Amino acid sequence: MNSFSLTTPVAFLVFNRPETTAQVFSAIREARPSQLLIVADGPRPDCPEDIQNCAEVLRIVDQIDWPCEVSRNISEINLGCKMRVSSGLDWVFSQVDEAIILEDDCLPDPTFFRFCQELLDYYRGDQHIGMISGDNFQFGQRYNQDSYYFSKYCHIWGWATWKDRWVENYDVNLSRWPELRNDVWLRDVADTKDEYTQWAKIFEKVYRGKIDTWDYQWVFANWLQGRLSILPAVNLVSNLGFDPQATHTKKLSRLSNIERDAVPFPLQHPKTVSRNSVADTQSRHTTYTYNLITSLVVRVIRCLS
């Protein structure tokens, strides 16, 4: 890692969590990106404590002590998860052609940055690839000696992508959903009838504005284009944000604070670009159909430990 230089722009999305922001920013500082783009949401009008917390977050991310081109997109008002992240990434990709993206509760292993940078370069011209993730939810299961595998799932706790994938396909309002809701494309993407039903309900709620989020729209964009994600063979990013103050990850789960590993270099590339359906089945069960009983067991174990 000593000879590695991080030349890929890093986008850092922050809000009101000084403690986790400080930890993630420390990892960014250690990586010393040559370009940093900071996207910040403003305080909520009904949460007086946000004023101080948001100010403290901005103070933390202002501590740039390495050679770096810094750009800031700071909202004075609270836009919420859906509009702040989507508008922030719109701004990011109006400035740069590709970026590594971290939110304020996603703590990366140092090798995450090199992993993203090398694969952004390696797959830049391959339109079958929509993004590169730092997440692995296989819990130690390995399928071969490759450094990564291909998945239909878009895990975004530390990720990277290119401007053309975002700008040409992302739609925060999911405006094409009404014309596509009864089309066969989603049935073809889903591995089971239950999965089809689950995702159809999710996209319907997003379209009707019942879910304040931006990431399901990114899943929609990639699935509609038939694109795959790159997921590392080991987990490179730990989500620190499972607590009552979080926007969405309020409840402890098996996915919280997963141990980080380092990916070795040089990377071992898969011989073909094809989805690992076995790994996706594992991800589906641990990420999207995680049941209440399992959640309660995990909570008891963590409390006891």
User: Could you tell me if residue 2 is inside a domain?
Assistant: no
User: Could you tell me if residue 55 is inside a domain?
Assistant: yes
What are 276-297's pLDDT values in tens digits? 999 999 988 888 764 434 444 4
153: its two tokens:
């799932």
Enclosing domain of residue 167: 10-304
CATH code, 277: 3.90.550.10
Q: Can you tell me the mean pLDDT for 168-190?
A: 96
Q: Across the chain, which distance is largest between two alpha carbons, in Å?
A: 54
CB 243 within 8 A of CB 250: yes
247 Cβ contact partners less than 8 Å away, ≥ 6 residues apart? 15, 81, 212
CB 229 within 8 A of CB 212: no
What are 22-57's pLDDT values in tens digits? 999 999 999 999 999 999 999 999 999 999 999 999
Q: Which of 105, 189, 119, 124 is nearest to 151 (CA)?
A: 189
What are 69-106's pLDDT values in tens digits? 999 999 999 999 999 999 999 999 999 999 999 999 99
> Burial of 163 by CB count in 10 Å (0-12 exposed, 13-18 middle, 19+ buried)?
middle
Q: Which of 44, 37, 173 is nearest to 96 (CA)?
A: 37
Q: Is 70 helix (H, G, I), strand (E, B) or coil?
A: strand
User: Could you tell me if residue 107 is inside a domain?
Assistant: yes
User: Could you tell me if residue 5 is inside a domain?
Assistant: no
C-alpha span between 76 and 64 (Å, rounded): 22
CB 261 within 8 A of CB 166: no
Site of tokens 């379209």? 207
Say which amino acid occupies 228: L
User: Could you tell me if residue 1 is inside a domain?
Assistant: no
User: Could you tell me if residue 280 is inside a domain?
Assistant: yes
Q: Is 18 helix (H, G, I), strand (E, B) or coil?
A: helix
What are 228-285's pLDDT values in tens digits? 999 999 999 999 986 545 444 444 567 777 999 999 999 999 999 999 999 999 988 8
CB 166 within 8 A of CB 265: no
Task: Identify the pLDDT of residue 253.
Answer: 61
How many domains does the chain contain in total? 1
User: Could you tell me if residue 183 is inside a domain?
Assistant: yes
- 175-194 in b/e form (b: 16+ CB < 10 A) is eebeeeeeeeebeebbeeee
CB 207 within 8 A of CB 178: yes
User: Could you tell me if residue 153 is inside a domain?
Assistant: yes
Provide the whole-model pTM: 0.91
Cα separations (Å) of 278 from 32, 106, 178, 271, 284?
Answer: 37, 26, 31, 17, 10
Q: List % helix, strand, coil for the chain (3-state, nearest 5).
A: 40, 15, 45
